Amino acid sequence: MISPPFLRPGDTVGVVAPASWFPYEELVDGLRILRDDWKLNVLEGDSLHAIDGPFAGSDDLRRADLQRLFDDPSVKAVFAARGGYGCYRIVDQLDLTCLHESPKWLVGFSDITVLLSLFYKHGIQSLHGLMPRQFGYPDRSQSLESVRQWLFGEIPAHYAVPAHSLNRIGEAKGSLVGGNLTMLVNSLGTSTDIDFSGSILFIEDIDETLFSLDRMMTQLRRGGRLAKLAGLVVGQFSDMRLNPSLPFGKDAFSIIADSVFEYNYPIIFDFPAGHVTYNLALPIGRTVVMKVDSEKGELLF
């Protein structure tokens, strides 16, 4: 996997909205942090000011926004301003040829997972992490610092989280893949379908029913996508919806544990990444070591 060069003050980066639209005013603090605190030159995409139904401009506009930044050798990183929905509609028209000559970081999560998967398919590392629309939130300071450390080469030695009752003890090494579970499942059979074999899979999601979570995990299991993992990291499953008239009887973590009960690789549950305040940045495509014992779960970089 190609690791893009780390950022330095004075570097040029781009910010675009490849998915849902939002008021530009919500990005002011994020742009200030990039420019004033991180000392970066920021190019703003046309999509930051565009609206087309639920999207930040038309599919063509959003795709062109990304393509310009991907093709510009002076741009060292591309930030998705927010997620939502929309990347799935434009991913197949993107050309990453220039990125092999001038690789750059792509930063985002949620709907941006499909773009992270595209980078992975092209052998380029990316960063699953906080997006500029949330950079200025006071309660996101740790998440923001996590993104900054990775982008500027201050790589943490490891992440360690407390033991969870559903964890499975063991040790594994593999390429870190994954992101939003819905986007991963929706990519099956497409150009951004990822082969999880021998990898450490990370999953998270938000605002899904427990039935749909069970259906997605069952689909991965039925398709043989869970059998050959090196390890599994289960992030946050936020705001999961219940059906009061037909209770599922299990929570999200239990559903996931049941889906992989027949396999023997290590598992970390309740990892702090996803649609939550404490959202640690994760280097998609980087080879990591995973260690799980009775006291903690660790990812070592």
| Average of per-residue pLDDT across 193-213 | 97
Asked if 126 and 166 sit in the same domain, the reply is no
Residue from 162, 173, 140, 175 nearest 282 by CA: 175
Q: Please report whether residue 6 resides in a domain.
A: no
Asked if 209 and 233 sit in the same domain, the reply is yes
207: confidence class by pLDDT, cuts 50, 70, 90: very high
Asked if 102 and 199 sit in the same domain, the reply is no
280: confidence class by pLDDT, cuts 50, 70, 90: very high
What are φ and ψ of residue 129, in 5° steps? Answer: -170, 180
Asked if 43 and 62 sit in the same domain, the reply is yes
Residue from 169, 171, 142 nearest 156 by CA: 142
Residue 262 annotated as catalytic: no
Residue 158 annotated as catalytic: no
| Average of per-residue pLDDT across 71-95 | 98
CATH, residue 172: 3.50.30.60
245: confidence class by pLDDT, cuts 50, 70, 90: confident
Residue from 106, 233, 264, 229 nearest 159 by CA: 233
Asked if 124 and 236 sit in the same domain, the reply is no
State which of 94, 122, 152 marks the end of a domain: 152
Burial of 73 (0-12, 13-18, 19+ CB in 10 A): exposed
Per-residue pLDDT at 156: 96
22: confidence class by pLDDT, cuts 50, 70, 90: very high
Asked if 216 and 282 sit in the same domain, the reply is yes
C-alpha to C-alpha distance for 196 and 183, rounded to whole angstroms: 14
Asked if 69 and 47 sit in the same domain, the reply is yes
**Cβ–Cβ < 8 Å for 139, 277:** yes
Catalytic residue among 117, 128, 164, 204: 204
| Average of per-residue pLDDT across 232-259 | 95
C-alpha to C-alpha distance for 63 and 59, rounded to whole angstroms: 6
| Residues whose CB falls within 8 Å of the CB of residue 138, separated by 6 or more in sequence, listed in order | none
Q: What range does the domain containing 194 cover?
A: 158-300
199: confidence class by pLDDT, cuts 50, 70, 90: very high
- Does pLDDT of 243 surpass 90? no
As for how many domains the chain has, the answer is 2
Q: Please report whether residue 290 resides in a domain.
A: yes
Asked if 137 and 180 sit in the same domain, the reply is no
Helices (H), 20-140: 28-32, 59-71, 87-90, 113-121
State which of 136, 152, 168 marks the end of a domain: 152
Residue-averaged pLDDT of the chain: 97
CATH, residue 123: 3.40.50.10740
State which of 152, 176, 192 marks the end of a domain: 152
The partner residues of 180 in beta bridges, in order of sequence, read: 204
Asked if 167 and 64 sit in the same domain, the reply is no
Asked if 36 and 170 sit in the same domain, the reply is no
Residue 199 annotated as catalytic: no
Per-residue pLDDT at 45: 98
294: confidence class by pLDDT, cuts 50, 70, 90: very high
Q: Please report whether residue 3 resides in a domain.
A: no
Q: Please report whether residue 55 resides in a domain.
A: yes
Asked if 163 and 185 sit in the same domain, the reply is yes
Which pTM value belongs to this model?
A: 0.97
Would you state the torsion angle of the CA atoms of residues 273, 56, 240, 30, taken in this order, to the nearest 10 degrees? Answer: 40
Asked if 127 and 191 sit in the same domain, the reply is no
Catalytic residue among 175, 208, 275, 298: 275
Catalytic residue among 20, 110, 143, 146: 110
